[in-house]
Structure 1
Amino acid sequence: MDVLLSVEGLEKSFKDKKVLHNISFDVRKGEIMAILGPNGAGKSTTIRNIMGIMYPDEGKITFHGYNEIPRNKIGYLPEERGLYKNVKVIDILLYLADLKDYPQKKAKERALTYLKKFDLEGKEHVKMEELSKGMAQKVQFISSILHEPELLILDEPFSGLDPLSQELLKEEIRNLARNGAAILLSSHQMNVVEEMCDRLFMIQQGQKVIYGTLDDVKMKYANFKCTIRGKNDLEKIEQIPDVQRIESKEDSTVLYLHKDITPAKWLKKLPDDMVINELVMDRISLHEIFIDVATNKNLLLANEQMGEGDEHA
């Protein structure tokens, strides 16, 4: 896929505090790219530099190889929502589309289509302050995509939405990517990131810690774990080879396995008399990797010490 947005060597300081250290990544046409990290890691500063709200001390940001992103080519859904409360839905949508130099007739047609798609048909003449939080969230999302941006930046887009509305939003984001938009998604909902994103960039204390496809990240950092449902003696479980850590409850056990085990071979090492009502073998989740990074544990460091080094696309 073609690179649409390129961030290279971004450095940013506020007074004597450096908040971004050599941040580099690409966002490609037709992909959903996650930017992740705990609060204060530098995500918002990175996004604001891309948006042109602030400027980096060092480094460059290019769009199609050019140094400036045209305002009508970018859509942005901020984490802090803020559409004018006393303005009608259709008026605010058309006003924001006009700011992007988008034709008003086409904007109105698209606005009505999207309002219907997001179960807001008939709400076009309702003032924003009369909408529920979820409805207002959907209107703000529509405002970010109405002008058909090539690059869409979504900051916590699912916050405040019920499960059905989340599914509607997910499907529309996927449609936009399928139609060629480059999407940069910031979210703390790791299950959503695993479900939707093609690649991810994880930042901690202003520095890159993980960068690559979801499959690559899982292969590198997410060792296998085996969940066994059944009442078993802990002493017997502790005799099973190639187990790093055990989490045991009354009727279930999670075995965190050493790196580079082969699941099919390892399963043959389970005792013949072990009680297994249900068994699941999978890799640790992106949520667990995120927690490891955010709490400065040793998972990443341990893998690097094994000679694997940093992941890069």
Structure 2
Amino acid sequence: MALELQHVIKAFGEKLAVDDLSFRVNSGEILGLIGQNGAGKTTTFRLILGFIEATSGQISWNNDSANQINPNDIGYLPEERGLYPNVTIEEQLTFFAELKGIPKKKAISEIDMWMERAEIVGKKTDLVKTLSKGNQQKVQLISTILHNPKLLILDEPFSGLDPVNAEILKKLVFEMKERGAAIIFSSHRMENVEELCDSLIMLRHGKTILRGDTTSVKESFGHKQIRLKAPHSDEDLLALPGVVRIQTLRDGIRRLELEDEKYAEAVFEFVTKDGFIPMFSLEPPTLEEIFKLKAGDQHE
């Protein structure tokens, strides 16, 4: 199974919300679709789901028109949450399960299992509005995946979650990947994209400005940063050829920004000339730094 977009354009009057977008996400893969607000991500989701029609281009699912996707094969978690506050967890999940073709009796029998897997604090008879934000988001994600969709679209699924609850939801997403779902994941938290996604597409004003597998994208920007833990002063390090900036991180670790990675060897020789140092790591930029560089206003 695979979802493929080929040269998709969506215009609203004279405005191009999506401009010649092409990508493919296969079964068992996670594609990160990233960009600033207004970049075209939500419009892309609506095109895939058939809520709106493309101006031109093709959207296909398993080599057939996306219009042929069985709605029960799709799981969509929108950024705007859609739970009913005055019903119980059991009623909420049973309702969504029945919408996706799961018999009510079967859905009810599986609710305890889902609550345990998601580590939801409370009872299935608790009203949704009494749950914490984190537990509400867990219920929302369960309602999106309980029918084992083949195509899963997740828009900011970890927004506002504490690290513990975020890890629980990440585990569920990875389980869906292992089951063979083709997953599109969107987030403004680049560390989540970096951790979860096999490949990524970065949009800016509807245009694709960056694409590829996540590791290759990072590597393409070169290894211009050194993560260093050593006794040398900032003044001595900044005096070395090619060192343009130093940032203090934590626990005595500093990050040196290089003009070019060719200067890394000289830095290494300098900091190790008197013997062992606890840390020296030559690294590419983080995805967050790449995002700011490519999608930020300074890219105009």
What TM-score, normalized to structure 2? 0.88
- Is the partner of 2:262 in helix, strand or coil? coil
Report the identity percentage: 37
1:167-178 to 2 correspondence within 5 Å? 167-178=167-178
**Deviation digits for residues 38-88 of structure 1 (CA, Å, limit 9, x no counterpart):** 111111111111111211111121111111221000001111112111122
The alpha-carbon deviation at position 261 of structure 1 amounts to: 3.2
The alpha-carbon deviation at position 238 of structure 1 amounts to: 4.1
Amino acid at match of 1:133: K
The alpha-carbon deviation at position 249 of structure 1 amounts to: 5.7
For 1:287, the equivalent position in structure 2 comes to: 288
The alpha-carbon deviation at position 27 of structure 1 amounts to: 0.9
Unpaired stretches in structure 1, ≥5 consecutive residues = 302-313
Once residues 275 and 254 of structure 1 are traced to their aligned partners in structure 2, the CA distance between those partners, rounded to angstroms, is 18
Retained in 2: the 8 A contact 1:43–1:203? yes
For 2:22, the equivalent position in structure 1 comes to: 24
Retained in 2: the 8 A contact 1:97–1:107? yes
- Is the partner of 2:193 in helix, strand or coil? helix
Instruction: Provide closer, same or farther for how the CA distance between residues 160 and 254 of structure 1 changes in structure 2, counting only shifts above 3 A.
Output: closer
Instruction: Provide closer, same or farther for how the CA distance between residues 35 and 133 of structure 1 changes in structure 2, counting only shifts above 3 A.
Output: same
Retained in 2: the 8 A contact 1:152–1:184? yes
For 1:133, the equivalent position in structure 2 comes to: 133
Amino acid at match of 1:247: I
Once residues 237 and 162 of structure 1 are traced to their aligned partners in structure 2, the CA distance between those partners, rounded to angstroms, is 37
Unpaired stretches in structure 2, ≥5 consecutive residues = none
Say whether 1:149 aligns with 2:149: yes
- Is the partner of 1:170 in helix, strand or coil? helix
1:1-313 to 2 correspondence within 5 Å? 4-67=2-65, 68=67, 69-120=69-120, 123-229=123-229, 230-232=231-233, 234=235, 236-243=236-243, 245-247=244-246, 254-259=255-260, 261=262, 267-268=268-269, 272=273, 278-297=279-298
Amino acid at match of 2:138: K
Retained in 1: the 8 A contact 2:240–2:267? no
The alpha-carbon deviation at position 132 of structure 1 amounts to: 1.6
- Is the partner of 2:215 in helix, strand or coil? helix
Instruction: Provide closer, same or farther for how the CA distance between residues 270 and 240 of structure 1 changes in structure 2, counting only shifts above 3 A.
Output: farther
Once residues 239 and 119 of structure 1 are traced to their aligned partners in structure 2, the CA distance between those partners, rounded to angstroms, is 53
Retained in 1: the 8 A contact 2:28–2:178? yes
Amino acid at match of 2:202: M
Once residues 44 and 140 of structure 1 are traced to their aligned partners in structure 2, the CA distance between those partners, rounded to angstroms, is 18
Amino acid at match of 1:135: N
Amino acid at match of 1:30: G
Instruction: Provide closer, same or farther for how the CA distance between residues 239 and 121 of structure 1 changes in structure 2, counting only shifts above 3 A.
Output: closer
**Greater Cα shift, 95-104 or 149-158:** 95-104
The alpha-carbon deviation at position 173 of structure 1 amounts to: 0.8
Once residues 271 and 81 of structure 1 are traced to their aligned partners in structure 2, the CA distance between those partners, rounded to angstroms, is 53
**Deviation digits for residues 268-300 of structure 1 (CA, Å, limit 9, x no counterpart):** 3658479966433322100100111222446xx
Once residues 247 and 145 of structure 2 are traced to their aligned partners in structure 1, the CA distance between those partners, rounded to angstroms, is 47
**Greater Cα shift, 181-190 or 92-101:** 92-101
**Greater Cα shift, 12-21 or 267-276:** 267-276
- Is the partner of 1:292 in helix, strand or coil? helix
Count of aligned pairs: 295
For 1:310, the equivalent position in structure 2 comes to: none
What TM-score, normalized to structure 1? 0.85
Instruction: Provide closer, same or farther for how the CA distance between residues 248 and 146 of structure 1 changes in structure 2, counting only shifts above 3 A.
Output: closer
- Is the partner of 1:46 in helix, strand or coil? helix
Once residues 74 and 209 of structure 1 are traced to their aligned partners in structure 2, the CA distance between those partners, rounded to angstroms, is 28
Amino acid at match of 1:172: L
Retained in 1: the 8 A contact 2:258–2:264? no
- State the superposition RMSD in angstroms: 2.7
Amino acid at match of 2:25: V
Once residues 21 and 233 of structure 1 are traced to their aligned partners in structure 2, the CA distance between those partners, rounded to angstroms, is 46
Instruction: Provide closer, same or farther for how the CA distance between residues 210 and 284 of structure 1 changes in structure 2, counting only shifts above 3 A.
Output: same
Retained in 2: the 8 A contact 1:19–1:206? yes
Amino acid at match of 2:212: G
The alpha-carbon deviation at position 155 of structure 1 amounts to: 0.7
- Is the partner of 2:58 in helix, strand or coil? strand
Retained in 1: the 8 A contact 2:201–2:212? yes
Once residues 215 and 51 of structure 1 are traced to their aligned partners in structure 2, the CA distance between those partners, rounded to angstroms, is 29
